[in-house]
Amino acid sequence: MDWGAIIENTFRGLLGEQFIYFALAAIGLNMHFGYTGLLNFGQAVFMAAGAYGLSMSVATLGLNFWWGLLLGIVVFPLILALLMGIPTLRLRADYLAIVTIAASEMFRIIARSPSLDRWTGSSDGLTAFANDFYDMSPFSTGGRYFFGLFIGNQMWVVLVGWIVLALVVLLVWLMMRSPWGRVLRAIREDEDAARSLGKNAYWFKLQALMIGGVFGALGGLLRAIGTQSAQPQNFITDVTFFAWVALILGGAAKVGGPVAGAAILYGILNFTDVFLRQLVDNGYISESIMDGTQVGQVRFMLIGLGLILLAAFRPQGIFGSKEEMALDDR
Amino acid sequence: MLTLMSHGRAIRFRRIYLLVLAVVAVLGFSSGSVSAQDDNSAEVKGSLIGRDDAGERIGIADVTFIASDESGSEAGRAVSAADGSWSISLPPGTYQVLLDESTLPEGQTLRNPDKNPAEVRLIEGDSKSTLFALGTPVEPSSEGSTDETTEFVEETSSVGGITFIQLTVDGLKLGLIIAMCSIGLSLIYGTTGLTNFAHGEAVTFGAVLGYVFNTSGIFGFRLHLIPAAVIVVSVCGALGALFNRAVWQPMRRRGASLVAALVVSIGFSILFRYVILFFFGGRAKRFTDYQIQEQWDLGWFRLAPKDLVLMVLAVVVLVGVASGLQFTRMGKAMRAVSDNRDLAESTGIDVEKVIRQVWIFGSALAGLGGILFGLTESINWEMGFRVLLLMFAGVTLGGLGTAYGALFGSIIVGLFIQLSTLVIPTDMKNVGALIMLIVILLVRPQGLFGRRERIG
């Protein structure tokens, strides 16, 4: 057993790229669910909007990297939020849930369809759209940084990710202190009461869906840059629930909740992943019980189990407060 | 003046001609892959290029390619387009891809006939090119010919009507199966308010359990599919009761909110799905019985005997369920609880008992639906989840919480999915149903049979 590798990977989970992508996605969900009470089960599509917004504009349309950023962070997610929000936000919460999860499935089918290969690269996805980003990297390719955790350009991705994450957290904190944020919370607590005070609840909910979608798209865009590819299987439906577990684990309706949740979640996931792989490689678990590919599936089972246990027994998560976190009294 | 007019007419003619070409192209494509599976996560493709009499490189159209899986049964087929390109969407697995030499045009022959069924291994998300070299010497280049002007022979124009009937039959079959699966979803929603995302896994579980009995066997002992189906249905019903008793009844007692219950059901959906993947594996599999059946050619459409039996069975079961709901004491109680729980309870109906019965029936029907799905398509670990979204579309169309609504809505969804392949590529057919779901919510959110008050 190589405990060094296990510990190193656990720390990489706590601070590394996956943590950044999913912390951003979970902050978006926090905007949707934690503050406004919207059940968005399609955050993966917002992430995909960011990833494909950038990659398609650069790799397919041949636009400049910066135009790609604009399309990926602003245009694509806003269009998506309007498409999903307009039909459903007047209805009961579970209709948005069904439509967003259906949107995830639609994305999967469309992105994988060979007939659109020219636009999306079908199941292989798109590559070579982030060269401008890596050209700006101040880090040398082979160097090890940050206690040796990150190598070369990985450090560049992680550093930019940390900065973006910090800015987004600051932004959310400011927004939630503002009167606008108080309206959102009022809608979450009692939509009729907010409406009777003259607030256009539908429009506020749509705004929350759009802004949370933009944060999700940022996460997806960074993921596409970090892996240097936009592939359909990186944004399947189940990806949404990684962000959900991160959100509920940390505590919804808290500014830092999703960040802490994502760090803890990826710490746990990376630990079990490497730990199980080591057990398999060293023969503590025989191949007949579990092999290398099956280790990857355990991570999804943990996500399912985490959702069940958190929702049933500790809906306020680790840091949330029961009064604000209303998973149980809505 | 005259020339101008005839010029205009010529343009209009060309437009119509192009339109016909486009329709023919779509028809040719869809009729070739009507039997393609739902889980088309991988594909095999190619470009069939030959030389014409003048030695020019041309695409060879209308050649049939058939992919068969390891058991030798057909998994998908395609017909090459005008530029010679073809592709078959398939679930991951190992396939023999056969070029049907009888469909090659005069004067074209395979250069290496012994390489004809070509073996391809597809993993999830793969897109593999397979080359069938044609005729005399020259190596066909693998570059895709994309923007060539297509020149069609209008010989398939009569196919339109027949394809329509064939797709209607296929759609009816799909709709009946979706209906069978979605009754439980709708009734559980009606009686408890729970949108049960784990219902799709009941469908997968039914199919997988059927596979275990029928194909892999227990201690080397294999059951025929019919007794296996009977056992599967009972086991699924029992597990539904257990699931209700172990998870949902305690949650109801604790007064858990519907949102919490929803999230818990999603958790179970993911957990069950990946546990099934862990044990069943990622590759699509099939039952042993009733796999290879000669299709009856009924003139207007083709149908395998198993499909006829399956559709009759589905109709019988659905009529049984509907009349059970309408006339029996238990069915009336279910509808009463669905309608107004408190009122039903105050008239002396044992609500918990009714909920238990709904879980048993709903899960048993979902298990049976899984077996039927496994018969028409293949069995894989996430089939239930795919079906779940179609069920949502059907149930929303019919009206959430209504049993008859679920029935009609699902059948319409099935028809819509198959018929939509007339206009959109087959591999994107489910998108049509999901777009329909969104449009319904925009236009008539309570569905065809629902009441307005449920949606607020």
**Nearest alpha carbon to residue B50 among B117, B145, B134:** B134
In tens, the pLDDT along B146-198 reads 333 233 333 333 445 668 888 999 999 999 999 999 988 988 988 888 889 99
Q: Is B386 contained in some domain? A: yes
Do both B90 and B213 map to the same domain? no
Do both B176 and B121 map to the same domain? no
Chain A residues 241-280 within an 8 A CB cutoff of chain B: 241, 244, 248
From CA B134, how far away is CA B112, in angstroms rounded? 8
Task: Tell whether the model's pLDDT for residue B218 goes beyond 90.
Answer: no
Range of the domain at B172: 161-454
In tens, the pLDDT along B332-371 reads 999 889 888 889 999 999 999 999 999 999 999 999 999 9
Angle between helices A3-15 and A17-29 (to 10 degrees): 40
Task: Tell whether the model's pLDDT for residue B282 goes beyond 90.
Answer: no
Decide which of B39 and A21 is more confident.
A21
How many CA atoms are closer than 13 Å to the CA of B393, on its beta-carbon side? 31
pTM: 0.77
From CA B410, how far away is CA B404, in angstroms rounded? 10
Contact predicate B174/B375, CB 8 Å:
no
Q: Is B155 contained in some domain? A: no
Residues in Cβ contact with A264 at an 8 Å cutoff, skipping those fewer than 6 apart? A14, A249, A250, A318
Given B85, B115, B142, which residue is the final one in a domain?
A: B142
Residues in Cβ contact with A157 at an 8 Å cutoff, skipping those fewer than 6 apart? A17, A222, A225, A226
- Please name the amino acid found at residue B183: I
Task: Tell whether the model's pLDDT for residue B19 goes beyond 50.
Answer: no
Chain A residues 28-67 within an 8 A CB cutoff of chain B: 39, 41
Q: Is B154 contained in some domain? A: no
Taking an 8 Å cut-off on Cβ atoms, the answer to whether A102 and B42 are in contact is no
From CA B205, how far away is CA B379, in angstroms rounded? 10
Of B41, B251, B442, which is closest to A112 when you measure between CB atoms? B41
Give the residue ranges of DSSP H helices in B297-402: 305-327, 329-339, 341-346, 351-376, 383-398
Residue A228 Rama label (left phi>0; alpha psi -120 to 50; beta): left
The mean pLDDT value for B129-140 works out to 56
Q: What is the DSSP letter of A16?
A: S
Q: Is B450 contained in some domain? A: yes
Do both B134 and B183 map to the same domain? no
Tokens of B271: 């957990």
**Nearest alpha carbon to residue B413 among B378, B447, B374:** B447
The mean pLDDT value for A255-267 works out to 95
Q: Is B16 contained in some domain? A: no
Q: Which pLDDT belongs to residue A41?
A: 93
Residue of A nearest to B252 (CA): A312
How far is the alpha carbon of B125 from chain A, nearest alpha carbon, in Å? 5
Cβ burial B223-250 (10 Å sphere, 16+ → b, else e): bebeebbeebbebbbebbbebbeebbbe
Taking an 8 Å cut-off on Cβ atoms, the answer to whether B445 and A300 are in contact is no
Domain holding B42: CATH number?
A: 2.60.40.10
Do both B64 and B167 map to the same domain? no
Do both B201 and B68 map to the same domain? no
Decide which of A311 and A209 is more confident.
A209
Do both B68 and B207 map to the same domain? no
Do both B283 and B172 map to the same domain? yes
**Which residue has 């949502």 as its token pair?**
B392
Do both B64 and B202 map to the same domain? no
How far is the alpha carbon of B386 from chain A, nearest alpha carbon, in Å? 8
- Lowest mean pLDDT: which of A12-16, A188-192, A284-288, B425-429? A284-288
How many structural domains is chain B composed of? Answer: 2
Task: Tell whether the model's pLDDT for residue B87 goes beyond 70.
Answer: yes
